[in-house]
Amino acid sequence: MSQQNEFKPSLGLLDATMVVAGSMIGSGIFIVGADITRNVGSAGWMIAVWLITGIMTIIAATSYGELSAMYPKAGGQYVYLKEAYNPLVGFLYGWSFFAVIQTGTIAAVGVAFAKFAGYFFPALNMQEQNILFTLGTVKIYPAQLVSIAVVFLLTQINTRGVKEGKIIQTTFTVSKLLALFGLILCGFLFVDQSYWTENWATGMNSQKALIAEDGSITWEAIGGITLLGAIAASMVGSIFSSDSWNNVTFIAGEIKNPKRNIGLSLFLGTLIVTIIYIAANLMYLNVLPMAQIAKPEEDRLAVAAASVIFGSAGRAMIAVLIMVSTFGCINGLVMAGARVYYTMAKDGLFFKKTGELNKNEVPAYGLWIQALVASILCLSGKYGDLLTMVSFVGVLFYILTIIGIFILRKKEPNLPRPYKAVGYPVLPIIYIIMASVFCVGLVYAQPKYSLWGLGITLLGLPLYYIALSNKKKAS
């Protein structure tokens, strides 16, 4: 098999925007609204959580535009952190990306795909009667094996070249955007009973849902530090749903005119998705009463809404939509992820073979080890636990990267910046503050998996020095 040394630019602005939007829209918007409502308990705070997340996402994305224009090459965030700080910080991100952020996201979305396939194939429902076998304390369901199969299928497709992945990404992303717009419109135009006034009567009265054994819900008023923890816990879902927008920076080497198109695609993609997410949640508030938003069957919020709008056919329609959405999301994540390992390998800090391109000009080895780790997480991780780890570690590195903009303004003042961070320095500072509050709140609200994510990140410290030692021996 012949090996290539450079990526071939073949993705235009539309393709790049579809990578941003497609990687963001997976399963979250259809599910996590239920958990958000249980935590904050009012229409005002429910929408506020999505607004805060959307503002944070757009600020971060437009800030990344400056970095992508300065370093328009494969590797994205790993490169930015390495240049702003040092190779160690870059490595810690790359290691976390490999062990938690990207692979954990692929696993969580893969599990969601199988979960909604369970609507058509009951054997895929993650219920006790469907357990195949146990590995220690880990229960293995058919759904997990299906999620692994999807990951491997999309990995195989992406080893055949970026063109194959591009076709899937653009097709599936356009399809789910149109379907989501249609669902939102129907939720306002064709619903027999509106709960809009009733739900908005809750205003900004924060309250936590207390669910009894019989499924009934009572509400407990919350405030102060408890409210901060509830908001942080809520934002795990919204941030996860809005994450992975930076995947487009990882494939910079394959984008035409990257200095222009990456920054523009980041802005357009995150803006489109933020508008859709807020509109979708406003639709939920119109279609369903607050108690049903808080506790739909198996947290399938979008299914509950579609059932009200379209009747029994709505359940099947939304299940198909989510399967399309998650399939396209996984594809975008798989396509982008291996480019980070490629760049790390070129720096002598990762497996050497991940720095090689196959005859189709893609890092096939990196794609396959990514698939392997994601598959392990499919087996071992629960959807909610994966979300917590991914969100905490991901936002932690977003903070460091945004701070990196300030560092590079002083460190590399003469480096060309054809695109500059919007609202600098005010907006980046606002992001840093908001994201830091989120991380602190998440450690307070969900310490176990937040600290697990931090622990995995810090495990990269000895691994870095081992990699450095091996690099010196090789030279």
Res. 1: pLDDT tops 50: no
CA atoms 464, 465, 471, 474: torsion sign: negative
Q: Which domains does the chain have, with CATH numbers?
A: 13-474 (1.20.1740.10)
Backbone dihedral angles phi then psi of residue 348, each to the nearest 5 degrees? 75, 20
In 3D, which of 142, 102, 69 has the Cα closest to residue 415? 69
What is the mean predicted confidence (pLDDT) over 147-174?
Answer: 89
In 3D, which of 319, 340, 152, 153 has the Cα closest to residue 244? 340
The neighbour count for residue 447, using CB atoms within 10 Å, is 11
58-117: per-residue pLDDT in tens? 999 999 989 988 888 767 899 999 999 999 999 999 999 999 899 988 998 898 888 888
CA atoms 55, 57, 62, 67: torsion sign: positive
In 3D, which of 94, 4, 12 has the Cα closest to residue 349? 94
pTM of the prediction? 0.85
Res. 336: pLDDT tops 80: yes
Max distance between CA atoms of the chain, in angstroms, equals 72
Q: Chain-wide mean pLDDT for the chain?
A: 89
Residues 6+ apart with CB under 8 A from 95: 457, 459, 460, 463, 464
Residue 39 vs residues 31, 177, 429: alpha-carbon distances, Å: 14, 28, 27
Q: What does the DSSP 8-state code read for residue 100?
A: I
Whether residue 425 has a cis bond before it, omega within 30° of 0: yes
Higher-scoring residue by pLDDT: 315, 455:
455
Backbone dihedral angles phi then psi of residue 91, each to the nearest 5 degrees? -65, -45
Q: Which amino acid is at 431?
A: Y
Residues 6+ apart with CB under 8 A from 449: 385, 388, 389, 392
Q: Where is 1: in which H helix or E strand? A: none
Confidence of residue 5 (pLDDT cuts 50, 70, 90): low
Structural tokens at position 296: 């739909």
